[in-house]
Chains A and B, each alone.
Chain A
């Protein structure tokens, strides 16, 4: 199993460089709406 230590160690020579992904608010659609941001 990969541990947090394993993960962080991968970038130890690179000042801990890492890609961070986040979620935007998403748009939902119904037959009665053009789309609203939730």
Chain B
């Protein structure tokens, strides 16, 4: 059985690059590329897939229809993680998200979980805040692959 660890590991050499598919209101699929990684859910501690986004279309889709699929690949090997998106950001409050400081730290944590490194965290924080970036957390409901 493919696990979340298996899926995320496929893109470990590529900063967690993965294709995210969301649903538009008309039932068609919208797909884009993100850096995703695994971390404990900030409230429950259960393992979650996470990425950061500010794409207006993706966020609008996920607010209305939280189902999504995230596909990782390495060559011909691929694995897909499906679940429901939980959004946490300046425009997407959560009961467990106390304040802007906790969001700032969570944005860093997600970036790091996807394999990212940064030599100027202050600038990272500022850009994330200016762009009103949002954390997307996914509790996996299905994980499958071709191998």
| Residue positions of A touching B, CB distance < 8 A | 17, 19, 21-23
Interface pairs A-B: 7 shortest CB-CB: A21-B21, A19-B19, A19-B71, A21-B29, A21-B69, A21-B31, A19-B73
Scan B15-57; emit 1 where CB is below 8 A from any A CB, else 0: 0000101010001010100000000000000000000000000
Bound CA span A6–B84, Å: 31
Given A23-B27, A23-B29, verify A17-B76 contact (CB < 8 Å): yes
List residues of B (69-98) whose CB comes within 8 Å of A's CBs.
69, 71, 73, 75-76, 78
A23: chain B residues at CB < 8 Å are 23, 27, 29
A19: chain B residues at CB < 8 Å are 19, 21, 31, 71, 73, 78
Number of A-B contacts (CB under 8 A): 19
- Residue pairs across A and B with Cβ atoms less than 8 A apart, 8 shown, are A17-B73, A17-B75, A19-B31, A19-B71, A19-B78, A21-B19, A21-B69, A23-B23
14 other A-B residue contacts (CB within 8 Å) besides A17-B73, A19-B19, A21-B31: A17-B75, A17-B76, A19-B21, A19-B31, A19-B71, A19-B73, A19-B78, A21-B29, A21-B69, A21-B71, A22-B29, A23-B23, A23-B27, A23-B29
Bound CA span A22–B23, Å: 10
B19: chain A residues at CB < 8 Å are 19, 21
Whole-angstrom distance between the Cβ of B7 and the nearest chain A Cβ: 13
Residue of A nearest to B69 (CB): A21
A22: chain B residues at CB < 8 Å are 29
B75: chain A residues at CB < 8 Å are 17
Whole-angstrom distance between the Cβ of B13 and the nearest chain A Cβ: 15
